[in-house]
Structures are given as C-alpha cells and as structure tokens.
Amino acid sequence: MMLKPFLRKLKIGNVISYLKHHYPLIAKYHTYLELNRNIKDRCILVYTMGKVGSSTIVKSLDNQLHEYFVFHIHWLAVKNLTQDQNFYKTFYQRNRKQGVYHKILPAYLIEGRYINERINRSCNYKNIEKIFTLTREPLARNISSFFENLKIFFGYDIDKNLRIKDEDTVVDELITLFCDEFIINNTVNFLDADPLTWFDIELKEVFNLDVFNSEFPKEKGYKIYSNEVASVLLIRLEDLNECFSEASEIFLEKNCHF
C-alpha cells in the first residue's frame, strides 16, 4: 500500500543527486557522461587556485561565449588531483561521523581529471583554445579559503556553533583555528593551494608557461602569456572590475563585458 506514494516522492533526480554526493565513482562517471554529452569543439579553461574570484569569471564567460565550453578547475597535475581527492575522501568520512556533511568529490576535481585524461589520450591541447587564470593578494586569499573550507578541513559549522554558543566564543575559536591550525601548522599549504607556488606546480608543469619569467604590468592589472602549447590570460583579482572587458577583448578578439 505504501509503494505508490513512496515511488511518487522518490524522484530519480533526487536519487542521482544523493549518490553523486556520497559515492565518488558515481559522481565521477555521471559527470563524465554529462561532459561528453555537452562538450563543444572549442573549450576555455578557467584554471586557478581557489578563492581568487574564478566563479565570477566562469559565469561571465558562460553568459557571453556560447560557442565555447567553459571548464572551471583548480588542479590539472595528476599528483595534485590525486592528493586533493584523497583529502576529500578522508575529511568526508571524518566529518560525517561528527554530523558534518559535504560532497565527497567536488566538481572541479572531476573536471580536472576529465581534462587531464583527454590531454593524455590525445597528446595535444587542440580543443583548449584559451586559459583564464587569476592571482590575488595572498593573505586575503588565505582568509577567504579558511572560511570556505571550515567544514571540510576542520569539521567546524559556524551556523551550528552560533546557535549553541555566544558570538565572542565562536570568534575566539575561529581565530585559534586560523592561527594555530591553518597557518602555524602549515595546513594552508598542506590542504590547499599555496598562492606563492601554485603557478609553478600547476601552470608551469602542465603547460610549460612560467609567469615569473617576466615582470607583471601592475598598472594594467593583466598580462597575456603564450607558447606553442597554450595561451593564458592572467588577471589580478583586485583589478578585475577595471580591466576584465579590455583584457578579454584583446585575448579573445571579441567584446566581453564584466
């Protein structure tokens, strides 16, 4: 008697969402199927360390460049993809025991692995026409990353703690976590992208582009780097509002507005 109402409420989309949230293989292969179905011949990578404003760039490009498929990733080097995936699995299991839930495998990791496999399989980068990347003042980026990853790295739920503790206590706990765990114990580098080395361990290793080989034009806020493998636009987040339209128009040879 309960079967019909049970089936009415048990929507297939909800089941898939649950399985993707908790099972890495299902998350990976379901996303691969979606990518294979929707990918276009022309691709753009928004390829950055975390917490530098990349989501805003992705939305802008998606809205304006319909002839491109826009990927949003943080890692392409195999060792970093593997390490980050293992971190997520470890923290997922630990946090779930404490009643804190998050995705076992985030989308940027799946897309990074997907692109890495395509590059290795075809031995070229022909579908990746342009790469956008960003930089940000390191301290501001680290603080933003700390709050973004509180649940994953430390199992700390701000909303939950504010319901059972006073605000001053929560602030003191956050300061202790940030100073003692995230900074002093080097968690920021062990668990997250290091803004001082990301360009070397990712962009240089994968695409053989060294952004430190020449001086960055601070007055412009952006620079284009190119070699036989890739063409990269590097923008400083603090200058994004002022220079995105100009930089994108030059880089893509078409008008883009931010």
Between 65 and 92, name the one with better pLDDT.
Answer: 65
105-133 pLDDT per residue, tens: 899 999 999 999 988 876 566 688 899 99
Q: What secondary structure letter does DSSP report for 239?
A: G
* Bridge-based pairing state of the strands 231-236 and 222-226: antiparallel
The answer on pLDDT for 100 being more than 90 is: no
In angstroms, what CA-CA distances link 81 with 57, 58, 92, 229?
22, 20, 16, 21
Using a pLDDT cut of 90, give the percent of the chain over it. 55
Mean pLDDT over the full length of the chain? 87
Can you tell me the distance from the alpha carbon of 53 to that of 238, in angstroms, rounded to the nearest whole number? 10
CA dihedral 180, 182, 186, 192 (to 10 degrees): 170
Tell whether the torsion through CA atoms of 219, 51, 48 and 251 is positive or negative.
negative
The answer on pLDDT for 74 being more than 90 is: yes
6-19 pLDDT per residue, tens: 556 667 777 888 88
Chain centroid to CA 55 = 8
133-184 pLDDT per residue, tens: 999 998 898 889 889 888 878 888 899 999 999 999 999 999 999 988 887 7
